[in-house]
Amino acid sequence: MIKAIKEPDLESALKEVVDALRSKEVLLLIGECEVEYEGRGYTRLSAGERVVVVKSDGSLIVHRPTGFQPVNYQPRTDLVEAWIEPDGRLSLVAVRDKPREVLKVTFTKVDVLVRGRLADRGEFLAYFDEAEVRDYLFENPSVLGETIEVLAREVRTGMGVVDILARDAEGRYVVVEVKRGTATKDAVYQLYKYVAALENERGSRPRGILVAQSFTPAAIELLSRLGLEWRYIDAKKVLEYLKRRGRLGGLSKYLSG
């Protein structure tokens, strides 16, 4: 059952938050809040109206009104707690032990609170394959967000075939591994093996970038721990690329242009 409450006072919101966390429900809060992060660095986001989501596995995401990427997130948590501050504000804190990271969201008001259990066993299907994403990146390397010179695709190493080998503006090799759909820890380990293989073969450590439509929290955590990078691929742009080349059917007729 999904429960939605409009404009609860902060004491009432606290009770709902604590119950939702205890029951491992999905929790969504919309309201004015400040956000602090302390761990590998320190950041503070001043007051603003935002969407905060705590998923049933304890991962916490903070979204601003625009953009698809979260402004703050905690991909895995060992503890999520909530309480009322002495000044009456509602604090929600997500803690990860190793490495030690703390994300604190403090609400001055809650406009909407939604909580409940969600069932999702659906299979995610991406209607283009990894080779098509690789070809798109090969022809449009700027979508990786920086100046990169593409050297070759399908480069063989001692650990397998690298999707794209490139060089960045500082002359450092860049290994780009592509996954369609959601990238998991397995994809991260695969990229790490390629990076290690090229380091062994060429004498210097290359950068490693994993490209996918989405990433599991565990994948992002592992990427950070291994010193690897990740980029989100815009599925619509890939579909438009395939459409221009006559390689796409299905729902492409609904795309503008």
Is 251 part of a structural domain of the chain? no
**Domain identity same for 106 and 7:** yes
Residue 97: CB partners within 8 Å, gap ≥ 6? 78
**Domain identity same for 136 and 52:** no
**Domain identity same for 144 and 228:** yes
Is 257 part of a structural domain of the chain? no
Is 179 part of a structural domain of the chain? yes
Is 123 part of a structural domain of the chain? no
The whole domain housing 108 covers 2-116
pLDDT of 193: 92
Q: In this structure, are residues 189 and 203 in contact, taking their beta carbons and an 8 Å threshold?
A: no
Q: Where are the alpha helices (DSSP H) in 88-211?
A: 130-139, 185-202
Percent helix, strand, coil in the chain, to 5, is 25, 40, 30
**Domain identity same for 63 and 150:** no
Structural domain tally of the chain? 2
pLDDT of 37: 94
Q: Please state the rounded mean pLDDT for residues 147-169.
A: 85
Domain boundary among 89, 116, 143: 116
Domain boundary among 68, 88, 116: 116
Residue 135's pLDDT band (boundaries 50, 70, 90)? Answer: confident
**Domain identity same for 136 and 38:** no
Decide: helix, strand or coil at residue 253.
helix
Is 44 part of a structural domain of the chain? yes
101-121, pLDDT tens digit by residue? Answer: 999 999 999 999 999 999 987
Positive/negative CA dihedral, 139, 145, 149, 154: negative
159-213, pLDDT tens digit by residue? Answer: 888 888 888 888 889 998 988 778 899 999 999 999 999 888 888 889 999 988 8
Residue 203 is part of a domain; what is its CATH number? 3.40.1350.10
pLDDT of 95: 95
**Domain identity same for 101 and 147:** no
